[in-house]
Amino acid sequence: MDKRIKALLMVAAGLFVVVGAVYLIPYENRVEVGSTPAAVENPHPSDRQSALKTHLESHSGKATKKEIDVRFKQAVVMLHAKKYQHAVKALDRVLQLAPEMPEAYVNLGFAFLGLKMDEQALGAFTKATDLRPRQMNAYYGMALAYGKLGNTRAAAGAMSTYFHLAKPDDPYREKAANLLKGWESVLDKEARATPDAGSSTAKDMPAEPPAL
């Protein structure tokens, strides 16, 4: 046989073996020359943790908001029932979860007033007005606390602010007006009294705090 023909037959046989071997490889494992590798979704571990954290924070935020709402409503019920210690406990939890909630400080102040903890009440009302300067009922409570502490002038000043902020149809406006009138009368008498005269206070003036 001609050497050239023999060589061509050997080359053809080799090609047949190679092609056959390629087609024996499973299709999914073949790589076509010049093709671009498929993109695989495989986020970095930190990305996964970040996504999980966002997911948990979202659910945690909803749960926290729900607890704040439940605890706040519990406190209002306790205030109306005059169970002031229970109201304080519920509001303490509210303020752990929402430390900048002025309404919670207002109701905490009224709970302290009910417990005759007048200085603590004043602190709570003051904090509420620091957080929200136009928190109307905080000034009402502040006036009551100042009155209990014997600071008639400050009581009148706080109630004047409440009266200024209150709407004409506010249900506590009339009570506020009567308290303010009484304190102003006391101040007027003190102004006309001799310097050695004893100072009057507003400790025994009754008042009912407005509940949120």
**203 band by pLDDT with thresholds 50, 70 and 90:** low
The CA-based dihedral angle spanning residues 184, 186, 188, 189, taken in that order and rounded to the nearest 10 degrees: 170
**211 band by pLDDT with thresholds 50, 70 and 90:** low
Q: What is the pLDDT of residue 160?
A: 96
Q: Percent of the chain at pLDDT above 70?
A: 63
Kindly report the number of other CB atoms within 10 A of residue 117's CB atom: 18
Question: The whole model's pTM is what?
Answer: 0.66
Q: What is the pLDDT of residue 193?
A: 84
pLDDT digits (tens, 9 = 90+) for 143-202: 999 999 999 999 999 999 999 999 999 999 999 999 999 999 999 998 888 665 444 555
pLDDT digits (tens, 9 = 90+) for 68-102: 999 999 999 999 999 999 999 999 999 999 999 99
In whole angstroms, what separates CA 189 from the centre of its chain? 46
**122 band by pLDDT with thresholds 50, 70 and 90:** very high
Q: What is the pLDDT of residue 45?
A: 38
**Which is more confidently placed, 1 or 149?**
149
**Which is more confidently placed, 211 or 123?**
123
Q: What is the pLDDT of residue 63?
A: 80
Is the pLDDT assigned to residue 17 strictly greater than 60? Answer: no
Is the pLDDT assigned to residue 36 strictly greater than 50? Answer: no
* Average pLDDT estimate for 40-67: 53
